[in-house]
Every structure is written in C-alpha cells, then in structure tokens.
Amino acid sequence: MLPVAELRGLTPRDLNARILTSTQPLLLRSLVSHWPMVQAALQSQQAASAYLMRFYQGAPVLAMLGAPDIKGRFFYNDDISGFNYRPVHAPLGGVLAELESHRDDVEPPAIYVGSTTIDTCLPGFRSENDVDLGERDPLASIWIGNRTRISAHYDAPDNLACVTAGRRRFTLFPPEQLANLYVGPLDFTPAGQAISLVDFQAPDFERYPKFREALAHAQVAEMEPGDALFIPSMWWHHVEALDPFNVLVNYWWRQTPHYMDTPTNALMYAIMTIRDLPPEQRKAWEGLFRHYVFEQDANTSAHIPPAARRMLAPMTEDMARALRAQLLKRMNR
C-alpha cells in the first residue's frame, strides 16, 4: 500500500478546481486546523462535547450501537440476513455522555452517529467551522463515535472529509478494483452503499484471494485533527476511527447538475432488464450503451437535425424532468 499524496500549507481559500476535480485522493494536511471545533478537541473530549452542545437544538440523532464483541466493525450478521448493530434515536447529549463513560473501556460497545446533516442538527456550527466550496453547494454532514470501522464502500459524489477530533485511517482503492473487493448485496446494505465483505483487520485470503491484488493498489491516509482528505467520486474507502472519541465533518457534491438522477438507479434497472437476457441480446445492448452513453460524442447524433435530437441533445433540467416522468409512467404500467 502507498501513502496518499499530500499537500501542505493550504488554507480553504486555496481549494481550486485542480484540487477539487482531482481523479486521485489528496491528503490536505492541517487544512482546517484553525477551526474552533478542532481546537476544542485538542484540549479534551469534554471541551469538544461542550462545543458541539453549544449548537444542538434538541432533535434526536440516529445512533448505531454494537456490542463490544463486534470490535467497532459495523457490518452484517453471520448469514447476511441482518446487521450486527441496532439503530436508536437519542439526544446528542446522551450519545456524547455515553462515549465519555466508555472512554477508558478496554472493549467498549461500538457507538456511531453517522452522516447527520449539520445545518439541521447543529445550526450555526458552520458559521465557525466551514469550508466555502462556492457554487458547489455541498451537503455538509457530521460523524461522531468511538473506535469504529466502516467497511470499504464508494460514494457517487466527490467528498472532502475533515477530521476534527481523534485520528482516522482511510484505506482507498481506485474504482477498477471493484472485482477484487468482494462486494456484498447492492440492495441490502448497512447504510445505503454496497460494502466490501472483507474484514480489513483480519482478511481471509483463502475466501477472498483477489483481495491481495486490491491491497497492491491501495492508498492509505493516516489523519490527525485538522487534516482533510479529498476522495474522488467512486473511489472505494475503508474508514477506521482510531481513538475513543472521533468527530469528522464531510462535504459531498456532484460535478453534474442537481436535476441529474443518480447512476445507481440506472444500474439497478439494468440488472433487472438486461443482465439475464440471452448472451447475444446482452451483447447488443452493450453496444447500444457504448454508442449512446460511454462513447457518446458530437458524431453520435450529428445526422439528426438539432431541433429533433430530443434526449440525444445536451441534457437540460426540463428534459430531465420530462424523461423522469416518462420513465415513471413506463415502470408503473
């Protein structure tokens, strides 16, 4: 495994298009070390918790709780019919107190508040702790927990992950390593995204032999409070929180307009409609997708008068709305 490429001495104002459209991960050392949240966490866990509670308005947060024997790994149960944790809605103050009460446990229960929208849960937090990404208009989320492990998964948006308390280790894989990561179900997942079934702390190479090849292409980022990591769209990332108290703030944004649907829906629909066709038909559809989607260029529809190209013209918001309505009508027949 290789270390993720590092950039030092940057401030949030230095995050230009070259960085934010990189196709490789970038570790941005000390990018948000000036944040008051980071400074509070460097004082103590109590100071960090008190700082968070300044902004909390009382709405319950969704926490995931696992027994000590899962060793922080939020995952499936043994036969992948369910999960090894239980979700609970609880006040943030109660979660923070629970984290404090188990701080010195040798084998604590796993406690994890994942992907909580900051502007809803902690209004005002971003007025003191934020990265201005301009017109990208990202979704900003906060993640809070103890020593936890989140299995390798990908996200469709680009991602800027900022460590504000505790240390984290990200292990990243390029998209082409998909076949070597032994991904689980697409439609039954712990948190919405398909995950690798490999236990990174104790990989079973007899069961998952191609994972050795994935590791040969892996990049690792060891992160301290104040560090940020840019994760390009579709890169697989395994996340380990290494301390008894960890807080991460992340920003997600897409490089396509907001009205574009997620490609995941197209994948699901293709599995339903194309995957089980006879081989020759499937090959024909592969050619259609290649022609109209993956290798589309100016020549694809040049023979059609511009006014008649319809969905073969550059996509607009009105066209996307009309196509969505048409698809819904067809699927609901």
**pLDDT tens-digit series, residues 110-138:** 999 999 999 999 999 999 999 999 889 99
**pLDDT score for 333:** 76
Query: Average model confidence (pLDDT) for the chain?
Result: 96
CA distance 139 to 252: 5
User: Could you state, in order of their start, the residue ranges of all structural domains in the chain?
Assistant: 2-253, 263-331
Look at residue 187 and tell me whether its pLDDT is greater than 90.
Answer: yes
Q: Read off the pLDDT of each residue in 67-85 and give the average, rounded to a whole number.
A: 97
Report the Cα 86 to chain-centroid distance in Å: 21
Largest Cα–Cα separation, the chain: 71
The phi, psi pair for 63, rounded to 5°, reads -115, 150
Percentage of residues in the chain having pLDDT higher than 70: 100
Q: Is pLDDT above 90 for 1?
A: no
Whether 170 and 227 have beta carbons less than 8 Å apart is answered as: no
The whole-angstrom separation of Cα 50 and Cα 285 is 57
Sign of the torsion formed by the C-alpha atoms of 168, 173, 179 and 185: positive
pLDDT of residue 281: 98
State the pTM of this model. 0.94
246-271 pLDDT, tens digit per residue, is 999 999 999 988 888 889 999 999 99
Distance CA 244, CA 240 (A): 12
Name residues whose C-beta falls within 8 Å of residue 105's C-beta, 6 or more positions apart in sequence.
Answer: 68
- Top-tier CATH class for 2-253: mainly beta
Confidence of residue 57 (pLDDT cuts 50, 70, 90): very high
pLDDT of residue 6: 97
Q: What is the arithmetic mean of pLDDT over 60-72?
A: 97
